[in-house]
Amino acid sequence: MHCNELFERQLRQLHDDGNYRVFRNIERKAGAFPTAKLHHKEGPDDITVWCSNDYLGMGQNPKTLAAMKAALEECGAGAGGTRNISGTNKYHVDLEKELADLHQKEDALLFTSGYVSNWAALSTIASRIDNCIVFSDEKNHASMIEGIRHSRANYVIFKHNDLEDLRNKLADVDPNHPKLIAFESVYSMDGDISHIREICDLADEFNAMTYLDEVHAVGLYGPRGGGIAERDGLMDRVTIIEGTLGKAYGVMGGYITSTRVICDFVRSFASGFIFTTALPPAIAAGAKASIMHLKASNLEREMQRDRVAQLRAALDKRGIPHLLNESHIVPVMVGDAKKCKYLSDILLHQYGVYVQPINYPTVAVGTERLRFTPSPLHSSTDIEHLADALSELWAQCALSRAVA
């Protein structure tokens, strides 16, 4: 068999199932977010991005851009090395201090992405603690799952957000084994929020550590943008808080914050921290400026909440079914991979609305959806245009409407 045939067969299967991912080529326009130029032979030149994780438009915030430009001029393009070998720059150290302060922890550790921070921290902790058992929510992100698997530690998957199942599973294991409960605060596909307080109570009762991914919450919740744990006054109860600088902070990078000794432990043993080039100083400078801005300003968070409520009301008015949750994520349920992809294509090419279809394996078969993320910078006109477009397509495709 020709070697290409091995690959082509599996790619064909993805196409046949409607799960082949198309990576849209867009050009974001600083100063005009959420508008972007579409690089494609069909469709309008300018589109409105409705699925960005630059949740607050901080990727074009003047303070973020100014800090990045200044650091670029000062330090040049790259970090010039791994963190251990000449790559630690004052901007990384300053950013780590800023992150420790954000989460009111002793220390923080920076990684090249949120994915790497989860993978590196979870795999290092779980592999290096003898007999560690990891309790992992069944809907945890791929980066957490990969980190846990890579550690080769024993792990137990508990039902999503199910405290009783977690309790039973904690009670089932040898009380002398070290335990780590790994979970998220805002689950990005359904937009639901976990029971942090109750999970911390269980952790206390069963003597477990907690690892909380706040990737879809940092910058967005809490009086200083410290996430759901800050909003609910629980930051001191979580052992390790993990976050990203690539979503609400609009830049790039990931981190953990915890005690000095846990950060030192991960810094000293994690290959994903040690053996890779450090983030460019300009990235670290931009992320710090963005965090500082969102520590002091509630305006973006308030405007975003307002836009989310507006979009939900516009969808309700037209009977477009969307998943209710407490967060900023608005999943419009389609329930079929091919229809989801079709709707996304028509929205883009005929209406200038860009939203990626979310299909298997990101979500379960039968729960395919369009995931909208309203930002402070989407206007009322953008919202009405989107809701009207969806309403027309719902009629065309004979999709069922929500009953008011």
Shortest distance in whole angstroms from residue 55 CB to ligand PLP: 12
- Whole-number Å distance between alpha carbons of 47 and 269: 45
CA nearest neighbour of 75 among 87, 84, 93: 87
Shortest distance in whole angstroms from residue 331 CB to ligand PLP: 14
Shortest distance in whole angstroms from residue 172 CB to ligand PLP: 27
Pick from 83, 105, 141, 288 the residue near ligand PLP by CB under 6 A: 141
Contacts 24+ apart (CB under 8 A), 31-37: 31/60, 33/57, 33/59, 33/60, 33/375, 33/377, 34/375, 34/377, 34/378, 34/382, 36/354
Pick from 191, 222, 225, 246 the residue near ligand PLP by CB under 6 A: 246
- CB closer to ligand PLP out of 79 and 329: 329
- Is the separation of the CB atoms in 196 and 234 below 8 Å? yes
- CB closer to ligand PLP out of 120 and 315: 120
Shortest distance in whole angstroms from residue 223 CB to ligand PLP: 22
- CB closer to ligand PLP out of 276 and 391: 276
Q: Mask: binding to ligand PLP, 185-224, rule CB under 6 A, as x and -?
A: ---x------------------------x-xx--------
Pick from 96, 184, 190, 300 the residue near ligand PLP by CB under 6 A: 184
Q: Mask: binding to ligand PLP, 102-131, rule CB under 6 A, as x and -?
A: -----------xxx--x-------------
- CB closer to ligand PLP out of 111 and 351: 111
Shortest distance in whole angstroms from residue 143 CB to ligand PLP: 5
Pick from 64, 88, 143, 258 the residue near ligand PLP by CB under 6 A: 143
State the catalytic residue, choosing from 247, 295, 317, 338.
247
Pick from 123, 185, 210, 244 the residue near ligand PLP by CB under 6 A: 244
- CB closer to ligand PLP out of 284 and 393: 284
- CB closer to ligand PLP out of 124 and 310: 124
For position 354 contacting ligand PLP by CB under 6 A, the verdict is no
Number of residues that bind ligand PLP (CB under 6 A): 14
- CB closer to ligand PLP out of 213 and 382: 213
Q: Is residue 288 annotated as part of the catalytic site, yes or no?
A: no
248-307 positions binding ligand PLP, by CB under 6 A: 254
Shortest distance in whole angstroms from residue 246 CB to ligand PLP: 4
Kindly list the residues in this chain that would bind ligand PLP in the complex (CB under 6 A). 113-115, 118, 141, 143, 184, 188, 213, 215-216, 244, 246, 254
Catalytic residues, by residue number, are 247
